[in-house]
Structure 1
Amino acid sequence: MSDSNEHELLIKTPKQLIYAVVAAFVIPIFVIILLAYYVSSSEKPAAGSNAFSEESIAARLAPVGTVDFVDANAPKVLKTGEQVYAAACAACHTAGAAGAPKTGDQGQWSARLSKGFDTLWQNAVNGIGAMPAKGGNSDLDDIEVARAVAYMGKEVGADFKAPEPAAPAAEAATEPAPEAAK
């Protein structure tokens, strides 16, 4: 047999064996110490460190609910068409749920727009098909619903004018009639 088939070991002396064993323990320990130092030396806030800030304390002490008192005799502030759309109409008309025509899709609105504003408004107030009356919000005033219809119509290019509320009776009585003023 020839000597070329034999494998030579890297460690040939006991001194080299001691160095290898020491390095096998020291190097991983040194790497672990460096990693621990790297992780702990950064400026990170500790978990829960903002627990005693004024904002956190105020959030914990805030009441769960609030009671808002509304003056029943105060005049109702009517919402704009966009506000009514966002609150009552957008849920179905944005996605086209339950066959609702999507806002801005002229193809779906063209047949409805040809019926006129009054028909669309009556359908919105009374409900039609799967759409509930007033979009499911019975607190809406008919003028608010008309404003929402005008808003949605304008989104597809209709020339609908949003209605304004009628003047209160007290103001109408104090103003002179248009013909009498001339």
Structure 2
Amino acid sequence: MSSSEEVKATSYFLLFPLLGSITLVVIWVFIILTSFAASFGTPTANAMDRTAVIERLKPIEVVALVEAKASVAVAPEKAAESDDMSNIDTSGIDANAIVTATCFACHSVGLLGSPKIGDKAAWDSRLQANGDLTGLVKSAITGKGAMPARGGNADLSNAEVQAAIEFMMK
């Protein structure tokens, strides 16, 4: 084989990858254009249905608001348990379990200025600010600052809230 034939043979081998690449690019462009053109088709009847559009545009918060209203509806029942909280009996209540399950996350580290568990000075200042233990319990039942009503546990009774406060003050 002569050198000119060898050059010609090698140039054919160099053309194959180039032609393959061009073919792949053409196929890729064709696929993209056909999918793009298909997206401009007529919309389905459901897509333009007024109720379907309203359903798609409904805010997500609707569900959260309904749940919040349900938990708020429970709190007034608990508040109506007893207006006189001066003689609440907290014996027999496992205050440690209540504090661990409900109060510990914030009061263990003093989150957002909450008094820490066992910090006598911080709890004494809260007692003075609210008048006495009864005022402090009422404040915890209704919520104070960043703390939600009943520490976020609407199932707690007034006695359980008071027991938890007394436990954290020790």
Where on the TM-score scale, by shorter chain, does this alignment land: which range? 0.3 to 0.5
**Higher Rg of the two aligned structures:** 1
Higher-helix-fraction structure: 2
- Could you tell me the TM-score, scaled by structure 2's length? 0.42
Identify the structure with bigger relative contact order (alpha carbons < 8 Å, sequence gap 6+). Answer: 2
- Could you tell me the TM-score, scaled by structure 1's length? 0.40
